[in-house]
Amino acid sequence: MNQTAMARSWVEHANGHRDFPLQNLPLGIFSPAGQTPRCGVAIGDAILDLEAVLALGLLEGEAKVAVEATRGGALNAFFALGRGPRVALRERLQALLGEHSAHQQALTSALHAVHACQMHLPAKVGDYTDFYVGIEHARNVGKLFRPDNPLLPNYKHVPIAYHGRASTLRPSGTPVRRPKGQTLPAGHSEPAFGPCARLDYELELGIWIGQGNEMGQAIAIGDAAEHVAGYCLLNDWSARDIQAWEYQPLGPFLSKSFITTLSPWVVTAEALAPFRSAQAPRPEGDPQPLPYLYDERDQAQGALDIELEVLLLTERMRDEGLPAHRLTLSNSRSMYFTVAQMVTHHSVNGCQLQPGDLFGSGTLSGAEPGSFGSLLEITEGGKQPVQLASGEVRTFLEDGDEIILRARCSREGAASIGFGECRGRIVAAN
């Protein structure tokens, strides 16, 4: 068995931690009470302050360069460095935090309890693109509107996406204000204006871009994985009634741009390496990817095996001390295209990607009930309400409801890791 997979930390609560053992070490931007934002790594229930580690003189070479690039409260410059410095920092931190480290006493002062800190977005996002590569979600939604032809002809050829709104990306815990907009009420021929009545969540992975490309220069499929810095959870909140009225002919607009919630930790590509797998073979009759999207290595190890979970906690459930209700248990293996294919296709026309750009995967539903990544699918467009243990029912989200996204990676011979939570509670429209 890999020795790194068995390694333990002198930070005792990290050993066997659900999300953040020594084998994970995700990066994020945090601020202790009354202090300025800076970069840290999650270790168990604590955050290691990398500025403090730097000040202690415990970093050198590429690891030192990596931490120096995190200054200023954003990871963009760090992402731009690429894989080398990122790996050097990871290896140095694993040594410093390992159970036989000679620096335990000095580093104790650099640890902050996570509950005493505020988390921020990891990077300044210049551009946000939301893909649609979860084929089961595309099929489930397509059946609601086109029962005889759920997938449009281009779906299996091209990674579909739309350009999202970067200005309303927010970290986990930010309240979700119910949006207002135009809708077309059932049986009416003229639209009305008011608060969204069919508010929904969408379970997605977020993909952080590391090194970018020059405008006009496409990223080859064989190189695309090197341009991914890490991953997070992403909730693409959706106003379904606003969406239904506005999406033709140009796609989502105000129904998606009011808020998108991210988990605050960047789980690096290196931490996820043990959980890579082969891309599922395409069913017989499906087209093979065009040559610019096909790479043998990517097909062999470009998929990710991440268990994804969605929980709902209502106001009544909180008041009565009831546990959150699981809505969804899904997996990232439902992605029809790999992340590398998404990166390559985005750049193939010469579009410039930049460090800190963010991709959403699209909703990651499974094929069976219990694995659907949105209420639109679970309730069949509002026709089949969800029954909750509190006695409540839901077709779409109500004020006071909180959605919690979680992710976990586990595999025999590897330490399990997680992403932390991505939370958002609905508050009433202004």
Name the binding residues for Mg(2+): 236, 256, 260
Paired strand residues for 230: 208, 268
Environment class of 349 (CB within 10 Å of its CB; exposed 0-12, middle 13-18, buried 19+): exposed
* Rounded CA separation 416/410 (Å): 5
What is the rounded distance in angstroms from the CA atom of residue 19 to the CA atom of residue 200? Answer: 26
Handedness of CA 331, 172, 20, 82 (dihedral sign): positive
Among 279, 315, 278, 286, smallest CA distance to 401 is for 315
Q: Which helix (H) or strand (E) holds 143?
A: helix 135-145
Q: What share of the chain is helix, strand, coil (3-state, %, to 5)?
A: 25, 30, 45
First to last CA, the chain: 56
Enumerate the known binding-site residues for substrate.
Answer: 132, 146, 243, 247, 363
Q: In the structure encoding, which two tokens stand for residue 314, read together?
A: 């209502």
Pairing of strands 358-360, 128-131: parallel
Sequence-separated contacts (24+) of 224-227 with Cβ below 8 Å? 224/298, 224/339, 224/340, 224/341, 224/343, 224/344, 225/269, 225/298, 225/302, 225/339, 225/340, 225/343, 226/82, 226/83, 227/343, 227/353
The verdict on whether 188 is a catalytic residue reads no
Q: Which two tokens stand for residue 213?
A: 């490309």
Query: Quick check: 29 and 264 in contact, CB under 8 A?
Result: yes
- List the beta bridge partners of residue 335: 134
Task: Provide CB contacts within 8 A for 377, sequence distance 6+.
Answer: 137, 140, 141, 365
Q: Are strands 180-183 and 203-209 parallel, antiparallel or unpaired?
A: unpaired
Annotated binding site: 130, 132, 146, 202, 204, 236, 243, 247, 256, 260, 363
**DSSP track, 290-336:** PGGG--HHHHHH-EE--EEEEEEE-HHHHHTTPPPEEEEEEEGGGBS
Q: Annotated catalytic residue: which of 137, 227, 345, 346?
A: 137
Residue 83 has, within 13 A of its CA and on its CB side, a CA count of: 10
The Cα diameter of the chain in Å comes to 73
Contact 411, 333 (CB under 8 A): no
Residue numbers in the known binding site for Ca(2+) are 130, 202, 204, 236
Q: Which residues are catalytic?
A: 137
